Amino acid sequence: MEKLKLLSKKLKSRLKSLKTKRPPNPQPTPKNLILQRLNSDIFLYLKQFLTPTSTTCLALTCKSLITILGCNHWRSLSLTSSTRSYKKELFSFLLLLESDDPDLITCRDCLILHKGDRNHYLPIAQVPRRKQECFFREFINGAYLYIHPYFYYGVFQMAMKKYRMGGDYQPFLDLLQFNGQPRLTDTFPSKTSAVARIINGCMIVRVQEDIFIPTRMELEHILKFYLPICPHKSLSGRDEDLDLPNGQLHRPQIHKSKLDTTFSKMKRCYSCGMEYEILIQLFEGVGWVIRVVKWMDVGEGRWPGDQGWWKYLGPRYCIHGPFPPALRQIASDDLAYHGPEIQSRKGSIARRFQGAGVGKHVMVVREEMEELRALVRLRSEPMITPYYQTTNSKPKLEISSDTPFLGKKS
């Protein structure tokens, strides 16, 4: 019994000593030893010529420098500052912090470090995520319109960083490509699909959009609809840009003739470099299908001021945020909206993406057309919703005024 009491006392004293014992101070590295041996006046002199970002990084190298340099340089990185320059300094500092961590990316809108969580960018959360600040700017500048609805810069940035650092980038790449289901829009049924690949350190995206139009409309009227291709080109009123033969464009009886398919050559926007092809195919007695195929080289994803990224959204994307004055000047100048001409050979992006398959038009098969046509039938049939009157217990059926595509009741 006495032995047990003695043993318990030893254990208690041992545990008490472990709790009060402090871990040993980390040994300074040889580089830090050199910094500690220098006179503090040298660092105070250097501070006069360093930016707040460089001063902050220097202060984080060892404790003695934090004491010497003080904390005034942190104020320029504070979010409470009302000047525009603080955003640039804070953004530069965050870029330095995340450069060695494969799981962190810098958000240019939130000005914080985001962890590369794949679940944060799942397409099922598209609508609520768009309301967040870090998605709002690319949303209002048309990333969903000119690239595709599920293209987030944060996912693109994380995929490219994982690729450069040798990590598993495929889960993030999968979020940027999809085979969409046919959907109803304000005009006609459409279907969008996208494929993304990383080739030679750059991401190339191929987007295909099919639009079904009933056969009662003639081709020359179809080409007057607004179908955006990029910020600088659209289908409406640009027959010469699409390089479609004029004889096929303006023949009113084209849907009755044997000539039921019209192609465009490979075209390239000289402002953003996007390459695209257009196929207009007629299914006799059913309708038209317009297929637009686009190829985009969105760059390396190192930072949002890269021209390879914002050129597909237009330079107004760079008006606000931590961007150099030269970029903001381009964005604020209306005459420079189209930007400088992109120097690249026509077909080079598409050729890198699919090799020898460039120039071989993929025809629309009847099964694809029937999927889009089925939505037209749903659109023509009004939705019946039950409506219960409070004064009568018997149910009464009536067409709801909120039913899509029905408009107001007369």
Residue 141 exposed, middle or buried by CB count within 10 Å (0-12, 13-18, 19+) = buried
Single out the residue of 329, 233, 321, 311 nearest to residue 277, CA to CA. 233
Residue 216: burial class (beta carbons within 10 Å; 0-12, 13-18, 19+): exposed
φ, ψ of residue 257 to 5 degrees: the values are -90, 175
Q: Look at the block and give the residue holding tokens 């408009």.
A: 407
Can you read off the two tokens belonging to residue 128? 């609520």
Task: Mark the ranges of the chain whose per-residue pLDDT is less than 50.
Answer: 80, 124-131, 237-241, 245-259, 334-343, 346, 356-357, 359, 380-410
Instruction: With beta carbons less than 8 A apart as the criterion, state whether 255 and 215 touch.
Output: yes
Residue 363 structure tokens: 């025809």
Q: Note the Cα 128 to chain centre separation in Å.
A: 15
Assess contact for 108 and 322: CB atoms under 8 A. yes
Tens of pLDDT along 208-239? Answer: 988 888 766 666 676 667 778 888 787 764 44
Spell out the residues 6+ positions from residue 301 whose beta carbon is closer than 8 angstroms to its own: 153, 156, 157, 159, 160, 161, 203, 309
- Cross-strand bridge partners of residue 384: 399
Amino acid code (one letter) for 298? V
CA dihedral 102, 154, 313, 242 (to 10 degrees): 90
pTM across the whole model: 0.69
Which residues have a Cβ under 8 Å from the Cβ of 256 and sit 6 or more positions away?
Answer: none
**Is there a contact between 383 and 400 (Cβ–Cβ < 8 Å)?**
yes
pLDDT digits (tens, 9 = 90+) for 231-285: 878 776 444 445 554 334 333 333 333 345 666 667 888 778 888 888 887 777 7
Based on its alpha-carbon atoms, the radius of gyration of the chain, rounded to whole angstroms, reads: 30
- Cα separation, 331 vs 351, in Å, equals 31
CB 233 within 8 A of CB 243: no
Strand-pair category, 275-283 with 287-299: antiparallel
Q: Is residue 67 packed enough to be buried (19+ CB in 10 Å), middle (13-18) or exposed (0-12)?
A: exposed
pLDDT reported for residue 338 = 45
301, 203 contact by CB (below 8 A): yes
With vertex at residue 127, the alpha carbon angle to CA 123 and CA 129, rounded to the nearest 5 degrees, is 75
| Helix, strand or coil, per DSSP, at residue 88 | helix
Tell me how crowded residue 401 is: count the other CB atoms within 10 A of its CB. Answer: 9
* Integer Cα distance of 92 and 111 in angstroms: 10
